[in-house]
Homo-oligomer: A and B are copies of this chain.
Amino acid sequence: MMTREERPSRRERPAKPALTRDGIVRAALAIAGADGLEKVTMRRVAEQLDTGAASLYVYVRNTADLHAAMLDEILAEVDLSPATAAGPWRQRLAEVMTSYSLVLFASPALARSALVSRPSGPNYLNLIECLLTLLRAGGVPDDQAAWGVDLLMLFATGIAAEHGTRSGRADADGEHNAMVSAVRGADTARYPEIARLGDALLSGAGPDRLAWGFQAVIAGIAATPR
């Protein structure tokens, strides 16, 4: 027979979990997913963890550090396997970039923060390493690859950030977007090209646009010597 339950003096409610950096980051991601990144404040994260804001500073340097950690955490989901798969390098490169984009599309607010402060966590470095490996496999000269990676990341991150801005709170608020009114408005005379191209300028973040962008950027990187 089993012995009587150990530690019977333990309270009914499970003890509040020990504070860890990972726990803080996970709590922050939960809040961001539910209420948006702007609600991820030290005080709110601390509240969720049943402690005070000051306690977080043992594990997190400041708010920017917390945001960076959140970003790196979600970058763990990016699929880097095409780097070692078979097939044409351009397509494999596009696959990795697409995976990165899909991850950021799910967290557009973090995409915006990635634009502002370039991440530098281990998962981000893994991704960059992977992109460089693929560019090298494609015979792209080193100097072009070094700057090209930036171009690729900027494009993918920017599109994800834009997507978030559009479908998020901002647009629901009926944000006065001058581009929209110029495209289908009375400003045909002032901005003829914008009016002429119309919706093509606004056609958002669909997979087509992403795929075209990757192709274009990869082609430019490979074809432009320094």
Contacts and interface: CB of A to CB of B under 8 A. Distances in A.
Interface of A: 112, 115-118, 120-122, 124-126, 128-129, 132-133, 136, 142-151, 154-155, 158, 161-162, 165, 170, 176-179, 182, 187, 190-194, 196-197, 200-201, 203, 208-209, 212-213, 215-221, 223-224, 226
A225 to B, nearest CB: 9
Nearest to A162: B118
A136 B193 contact: yes
B213 A151 contact: yes
A200 B142 contact: yes
B226 A220 contact: no
Contacts of A187: 125
Q: Which 10 A-B pairs have the closest CB atoms?
A: A220-B220, A120-B178, A216-B220, A132-B193, A146-B200, A216-B224, A154-B158, A115-B115, A219-B220, A129-B191
